[in-house]
Amino acid sequence: MVKELVCVNCPVGCRLTVEVENGQVRSVSGNSCPRGEEYARSECIRPERILTTTVRITGAIHRVLPVITESEIPLDMIMDAMEAVRQIKVQAPVNVGDVIAENLLGTGVNLVAARSMERI
Amino acid sequence: MKKIQAIVIGGGSAGLSAAVALKKNGIEDVLVIEKDEEPGGILEQCIHNGFGLHTFKEQLSGPAYAERYIRMAEECGVRILLNTMVTKLTADRIVEYVNAEEGTVQVEADAVILAVGCYERPRGGITITGTRPAGIYTAGQAQRYLNIDGYMVGKRVFILGSGDIGLIMARRMTLEGATVVGVAELMPYSNGLPRNMKQCLEDFNIPLYLSHTVTEVYGRDRLEKVKMMQVDENRNPISGTEEYFDVDTLLLSVGLIPENHLADQAGIQMDPSTKGPLVDDRYMTSAEGIFACGNGLHVHDLVDYVSLQAAKAAEGAAAYLQNGKPQGEPLRILNGNQVSYCVPSQFYPQDPADKLTVYFRVRTPLDKGTLVIRSGDKVIRSLKKRKLVPSVMEEALLLKQDMTGLTEPITIEIAED
């Protein structure tokens, strides 16, 4: 079976052609970097995405702090991850890259601050 | 009147990059004027990832990308005036600004870089009949409420327009627990990046209605319902295709327009195809010493290109401050077949820039075509292209020797094979 995919790794959005046989990825073409092939393989088995959202913060310029997972987590866990992240409250100051939640839902992936916020 | 060497109006992605590049090109006295309470501009509300692939060779969120430039600006000693609005600009570079500490102040600049960004086309800019209830937002406005101010704007959402902000907001509202019942797009193709179609709509099974639009809204205090209709090839609604959705929120992602009232005020010549100022190969506008960059020049799809182009505009401004304006009379760079706009759209054949990247967009999606760069009948270069879409900015490269001594305007066009 031949699958047509759009790589979501970056804004280039390469159009990938993936040959799948008996649930195994036989070949990937159309990618312009190695991450495209990686994406195509995981997309055909268990799709993964970067999660970006916000958490509540006190003592900062804004009421919410943007956060991002350090790498992809399974797409089928995204809604549960949102539920877990919604409970988190942090206090300023925060530096970009600070770990906000370690090993999010046992995925082995940390949730980190997407920017710094000083204490005011 | 106080004199400043270079004033950058706007402290977003374009303004910060321009300010840093001015410093790197030897301009000491650089002032950025920003209306918001912190620098970073629209990037601060674009919390999704995908920024910085070209500039930093990694994938950053919007705020992280902004923070890199804010640090660079701090490190090279750029002064940034926050909470300050520029209220007037004249062709001889007098800048009037207002803030709570100083009141209204006029300063004179040797060079001005406009990095003013763009605004969203509002409901009044398109035809939607009906009542005027709460619950109708432009997508970027809702994005700010949600990602910076921490407020949810609704529970059941319909989105008009498949531009990237609309798609990004479809996912964002879904993640926050809202139900996005559909996205309607007037054109027969999506206006967003292919990857956003995939990860923002398909991932969450949000239906996309191509060749459809919202024609009427209902509700007295709060939005209750929208009417969607299919449109024909002339974009006119077809009667009998009405469909209704019960929603409390309508997000509009129906176009971005360069913010140009300062340029207008200074009498700067505008380019009707970009709705921003017309600039030459140094990014200088028709007013000597006033330069333009970023989304206030033309609407970009990637911030990386905003940073890159803003740095080019700053190089142009630095060269102007050091050596004056280019020699000779400029010639135009024209939109040919299938090309909706070109930026920059002027060059100096007696004194061309070393290397000029002209950014352009196609009018309609094309599977393949040949990019042809010509001056009169003389073909400078032609290049095979594949998968051209209006939502993706394309580039045409001109070298110094390509432009030197030309007597006829350059035309950029796509030959359809």
pLDDT for residue A76 is more than 90: yes
* Domains: count for chain B: 3
Same domain, B126 and B250: yes
DSSP-derived pairing of the beta strands B79-81 and B30-33: parallel
Is the N-terminal amide bond of A93 cis, ω within 30° of 0? yes
Q: What separation in angstroms does the CA of B145 have from each of A63, B45, B173?
A: 11, 9, 12
Residue with tokens 């997407």: A114
Tell me whether residues A114 and B64 touch, CB distance under 8 A.
yes
Structural domain including B264 reads 1-120+255-325
Residue finishing a domain among B211, B230, B254: B254
Looking at the structure, do residues B97 and B202 belong to the same domain, yes or no?
no
Are residues B313 and B234 located together in one domain of the fold?
no
In a shared domain, residues B102 and B188: no
Residue B264: give its domain's CATH number: 3.50.50.60
Domain termination site, one of B325, B347, B373: B325
Q: Tell me the residues of chain A between 63 and 92 that have a Cβ less than 8 Å away from chain B.
A: 63-64, 66, 68, 75, 78-79, 82
Cβ of residue B44 closer than 8 Å to a chain A Cβ: yes
pLDDT in tens, chain B (417 residues): 999 999 999 999 999 999 999 999 999 999 999 999 999 999 999 999 989 988 998 889 999 999 999 999 999 999 999 999 999 999 999 999 999 999 999 999 999 999 999 999 999 889 899 999 999 999 999 999 999 999 999 999 999 999 889 999 999 999 999 999 999 999 998 888 888 999 999 999 999 999 999 999 999 999 999 999 999 999 999 999 999 999 999 999 999 999 999 999 999 999 999 999 999 999 999 999 999 999 999 999 899 999 999 999 999 999 999 999 999 999 999 999 999 999 999 999 999 988 999 999 999 989 899 999 999 999 999 999 988 888 888 999 999 999 999 999 999 999 987
Q: What angle do CA A34, A40, A41 make, to 5 degrees?
A: 95
Nearest to A96 among B50, B64, B147 (CB): B64
- Radius of gyration of chain A from Cα atoms? 18
Say which residue, A98 or A28, is predicted with more confidence.
A98
CA pair distance A44, A53, nearest whole angstrom: 26
Residues B96 and B132 in one domain: no
Interacting residues of B197 by C-beta distance below 8 A, sequence separation 6+: A6, B162, B167, B190, B208
Inter-axis angle of helices B13-24 and B62-75, nearest 10: 30
What is the per-residue pLDDT for B321? Answer: 97
Model pLDDT, residue A21? 85
pLDDT at B59: 87
- Pairwise CA distance, residues A4 & A6, whole Å: 7
If asked whether residues B219 and B365 sit together in one domain, one would say: no
Contacts of B198 in chain A (CB under 8 A): 5-6, 8
- Token digits of residue B58: 């990694």
Do B198 and A116 count as a contact with CB atoms less than 8 A apart?
no
- Of B210, B230, B254, which closes a domain? B254
B64: contact with A, CB 8 A cutoff: yes
Q: Give the closest of B47, B175, B198 to A8, CB-based.
A: B198
Residues B146, B170 contacting (CB under 8 angstroms)? no
Q: Which residues lie below 8 Å from residue B206, measured CB to CB, with a gap of 6+?
A: B170, B174, B180, B182, B183, B200
Segment (H or E) for A79: helix A78-86
Answer yes or no: do A61 and B38 touch at CB < 8 A. Answer: yes
Q: What is the structure's pLDDT at B79?
A: 97
Structure confidence at residue A23 (pLDDT): 77
ipTM: 0.91
B357 and B210 share one domain? no
The reported pLDDT for the residue numbered A9 is 80
Residues of B in contact with A13 (CB under 8 A): 193-195
Q: Does A112 touch chain B (CB under 8 A)?
A: no
Among B245, B228, B246, CA closest to B237 = B228
**Touching check for A120 and chain B: CB below 8 Å?**
no
Q: Which residues of chain A are within 8 Å of residue B197 when distances are taken between CB atoms? A: 6
Q: Are B110 and B17 in contact (CB under 8 A)?
A: no
Same domain? B305 vs B364: no
Specify whether B110 is located in the same domain as B164: no
If you search the block for the tokens 């920017």, which residue do you land on? A115
What is the enclosing helix (H) or strand (E) of A85?
helix A78-86
Give the one of A13, A115, A116 whose C-beta lies nearest to B195's C-beta: A13
Report the pLDDT value the prediction gives residue B191, as an integer from 0 to 100.
80
Note whether B170 and B67 are same-domain residues.
no
Burial class (CB in 10 A: 0-12, 13-18, 19+), B220: exposed
Residues 16-45 of A with CB under 8 A from B: none
All CATH 3.10.530.10 domain ranges in chain A, comma separated: 52-113
List, in sequence order, every beta strand (DSSP E) within A22-110: 24-29, 48-49, 52-58, 64-69, 73-74, 89-91, 99-101
pLDDT at position B386: 85
For the stretch A29-48, pLDDT in tens is 888 888 888 888 888 888 99
Whether residue B198 is found in the same domain as residue B104: no
Superfamily name and number for A52-113:
CPE0013-like (3.10.530.10)
Cβ within 8 Å of residue A83, ≥6 positions away: none
Q: Which residues of A touch B49 (CB under 8 A)?
A: 50, 52, 68
A66 and B63 in contact by Cβ < 8 A? yes
SS in 3 state form for chain B?
CEEEEEEEECCCHHHHHHHHHHHHCCCCCEEEECCCCCCCHHHHHCCCEEECCCCCCCCEEHHHHHHHHHHHHHHCCCEEECCCEEEEECCCCEEEEEECCCEEEEEEEEEEEECCCEEECCHHHCCCEECCCECEEEHHHHHHHHHCCCCCCCCEEEEECCCHHHHHHHHHHHHCCCEEEEEEECCCCCCCCHHHHHHHHHHHCCCEEECEEEEEEECCCECCEEEEEEECCCCCECCCCCEEEECCEEEECCCEEECCHHHHHCCCCEECCCCEECCCCCCECCCCCEEECHHHCCCCCCHHHHHHHHHHHHHHHHHHHHHCCCCCCCEEEEECCCEEEEECCEECCCCCCCEEEEEEEECCCEEEEEEEEEECCEEEEEEEEEEECCCCCEEEEEEHHHHCCCCCCEEEEEECC
Mutate to test the interface with A, among B51, B59, B144, B387 (most CBs of A within 10 A): B59
The 10 Å Cβ neighbour count of residue A33 is 14
B242 and B274 share one domain? no
